[in-house]
Structure 1
Amino acid sequence: MKSLLTGLLASGLVLGGISSVQAIGLEAAVGCWLQNPGGSIAYKSAIVNDSIDLDGDSGYDNELRLMARVNIDMPLIIPNVVAMATPMEFSGRGNKNLDFSFGDISFRGGVPFDSKIVLDHYDVGLYYGVPLLETATLNTLRVDFGINVRLLKVEAEVSQNTLGKEDSVAETFILPMGYLAVQVTPIEALAFTVEVRGLAYSGNHYYDLIARARYTITGPVFVAAGWRVEDVKISEKDIEAKLDFSGPFAEFGLNF
């Protein structure tokens, strides 16, 4: 995970070194997101009580996780590129009043259980800006649209060690999503951006909203802060999940 985040930033620095020669624009940032989990997840669920409630049953706390991104503005008609890495993991000790099942194992109600959920996701997107909009608005408004592919790695495990009970699931999903971003730059040093990635199909959906304020400190160096919200509903591969994550984030980066 750390190597991937480092790789994203290293790629950004290399591209930044040649951006002036190749007419390539670059923005690379690394930061932290305070993730507040909500919703529920079940595996091979037969009844409602089989779902594990992330708000109540699981004993999960908010988690501060690294995140990294690179945006590359390409010349001429070549599509622009955005890449992003978002690690996500929660673990804790919880309790349910009634018996419940996870996978092929029945767990006893009233006995504490340990659980862990991982939802790491990695994005690569291709996008274009609305032609001539920046020129017409004197570089104060930019609108980008395109496609995004998200690799979502889902892992979940539940155990009652005192009773020798344990089961887990690990699946990978490749999700094509739409991408839309709007950036307003009232002054040269300050920019406000909203990014939306979304997918809906067959009762499933995945929405990811990022609102960001970026301030340039000096030269290419900037800091940014904002709010991120994800809303996920998955009913595939025996996984039933209705999840939401939200919280503030902060970034440090370079813009060439």
Structure 2
Amino acid sequence: MRRTFLPFLALALSLAAPSQARALEIDVQVGSSIPTVSGSVTYTANGLAGSSIDLGTLGFGSGNDTHAKIDINHPIPVVPNIYVHYLPIDLVGNSTLTKAINFGGTTYAANANLRSEILIQQTDVGLYYNVPMLKTATAGMLNVKLGLNARIMNFNASITGTSGAVSKTTTASFAPTIPMAYLALDVRPIHLFSVNAEYKTLPMGSSSLVDWDVDLRIYPIPILYFGAGIGSYAITLDPSLAAGVPAANITFASTHFFLGADF
């Protein structure tokens, strides 16, 4: 992991040199995300091999999660800019098993009624630099950001199975803080709208996280905007990563809508 980040960190630090006087800029945003999930999970515990569970068979619908972000872009030389982004995911599914499965050492019989939930509480804290002189050279039409992101995550995946009067619940959970590389692109050809993209990633051997989104902002007046976008969040987990981690290949696809102020 250290070898992965040293070149990127060196590049980010090289951007720290002051390039121009600029004012304090604050971007505040709140909105709603509508995620869907696909992929598979295998949770082995208590010496019992877990079943490979296709998430598409668990009846997950679309979620509706509130997200919020603040981005502070300041004029202090050398000190990086900072953002904080709260982006939870909560999905619930209801289904009936067509065959027996094992999840976390618990066996759920065929024809059992299942309630499944994926709950991820996560907050991103990022430090970044703007590419020097680029925004000035393009008259504010283009800006590129490079930095590091810390994803503070609390991951829970649970299954509750009911068969007759018997109900059983099993939960896989872990709470890591994950460093990620951060890249963002802002394009604003005219004052009325902008296109913004973000990419965050971390390869962790046989595990990885890749998170990207693209959105369109409309500015009805100079500092206020509204918009919509799409995103994808792919999680690949290997049980060797940490205790309580299931084997998983999960992708969350989302559409999001938001309001914000950029001043």
TM-score range, shorter chain: 0.7 to 0.9
Aligned to 1:61: 61
Aligned to 2:196: 193
Q: Which runs of 4+ in 1 moved over 4 A?
A: 45-48
CA distance in 1 between partners of 2:114 and 2:140 (Å): 55
Aligned-partner SS, 2:56: coil
Aligned to 1:204: 207
Aligned to 2:154: 153
Shift of 1:23: 3.3
Match of 1:183 among 178, 183, 186: 186
Aligned to 1:251: 258
Q: How does 1:9-48 map to 2 (within 5 A)?
A: 23-44=23-44
Contact 2:49–2:105 (CA under 8 A) maintained in structure 1: no
CA distance in 2 between partners of 1:193 and 1:168 (Å): 37
Shift of 1:104: 2.1
Aligned-partner SS, 2:136: helix
Shift of 1:47: 5.0
Shift of 1:44: 1.5
Q: How does the TM-score come out when normalised to structure 2? A: 0.83
CA distance in 2 between partners of 1:160 and 1:133 (Å): 56
Aligned to 1:105: 106
CA distance in 2 between partners of 1:206 and 1:215 (Å): 30
Q: How does 1:114-125 map to 2 (within 5 A)?
A: 114-125=115-126
Q: What do residues 72-129 of structure 1 show as CA deviations (whole Å, max 9, x unaligned)?
A: 1011322111111111111122233322111121111232222211122110000001
CA distance in 1 between partners of 2:90 and 2:40 (Å): 15
Number of aligned pairs? Answer: 233
CA distance in 1 between partners of 2:160 and 2:36 (Å): 23
Give the percent of matched residue pairs that are identical in Structure 1 and Structure 2. 25
In angstroms, what is the RMSD of aligned CA positions? Answer: 1.7
> What amino acid is the match of 2:153?
L
Aligned-partner SS, 2:175: strand
Aligned-partner SS, 1:55: helix
Q: What do residues 19-52 of structure 1 show as CA deviations (whole Å, max 9, x unaligned)?
A: xxx932000000011101111223226657x133
CA distance in 2 between partners of 1:121 and 1:182 (Å): 23
Please, which moves more after superposition, 160-169 or 30-39? 160-169
Q: What do residues 153-173 of structure 1 show as CA deviations (whole Å, max 9, x unaligned)?
A: 111221223333222232101
Q: What do residues 5-27 of structure 1 show as CA deviations (whole Å, max 9, x unaligned)?
A: xxxxxxxxxxxxxxxxx932000
Aligned-partner SS, 1:40: strand
Q: What do residues 135-192 of structure 1 show as CA deviations (whole Å, max 9, x unaligned)?
A: 1222111111000000121112212233332222321011100000111110023111
CA distance in 2 between partners of 1:159 and 1:213 (Å): 39
> What amino acid is the match of 2:178?
L
Unpaired runs of 5+ in structure 1?
A: 1-21
Contact 2:198–2:213 (CA under 8 A) maintained in structure 1: yes
Aligned-partner SS, 2:64: strand
> What amino acid is the match of 1:107?
Y
Determine if the alignment matches structure 1 residue 221 to structure 2 residue 224.
yes
CA distance in 2 between partners of 1:225 and 1:123 (Å): 20
